[in-house]
Amino acid sequence: MNETLLPSRRKFLKIGGAALALIPVLAVSGNAMAATNAAMRASMKYQNKPNGDKNCSNCMQFVPGKTAKDLGGCKIFAGDTEISPKGYCVAWVAKPK
Ligand code: SF4
């Protein structure tokens, strides 16, 4: 047996094993791009329910998701992709009609 090939084969198997170990993690996480901006949510008192007839879907800052019911974004919540159209925060401003 050629002893010089053994270290590289061992290294290859380690890398392959690490790659295989990541597959379930990526599969479970699903939407890897989803994110929330916890600091902004706290400072703006964001909630996942409307305040009377005021909600994200009728706020001029809302960036809708794929459909009207999907989670979207907010122009002032940088990086947050999980804003509910039924949510609300103190920065609410009526969408122009
Ligand atoms: S400013 Fe507040 S109410 Fe308006 S879309 Fe953003 S999170 Fe929703």
31-54 pLDDT, tens per residue?
557 899 999 999 999 999 999 999
Please check the confidence at residue 88 and state whether its pLDDT lies above 60.
yes
40, 43, 46, 48, best to mutate for ligand 1 pocket (most atoms within 8 Å of CB): 46
Q: Which residues of 54-76 are buried (b: 16+ CB within 10 A; e: fewer)?
A: ebbbbbebbeebeeeeebbbbee
Q: Say what the pLDDT of residue 28 is.
A: 43
Q: What are the residue boundaries of the structural domains of the chain, listed by start? A: 1-30, 33-97
Calpha distance 60→86 (Å, rounded): 14
33-97 CATH choice from 4.10.490.10, 3.40.50.11720, 3.30.1240.10, 3.40.50.720 = 4.10.490.10
Q: Say what the pLDDT of residue 97 is.
A: 86
11-34 pLDDT, tens per residue?
655 655 544 444 444 344 445 578
- What is the distance in A from the centroid of ligand 1 to the CA of 69? 15
pTM comes to 0.69
Distances (CA, A) of 20 to 28, 68, 71, 78, 79: 14, 37, 31, 33, 30
> Measured from the CA of 54, which atom of ligand 1 is nearest?
3
40 lines ligand 1 (CB under 6 A): no
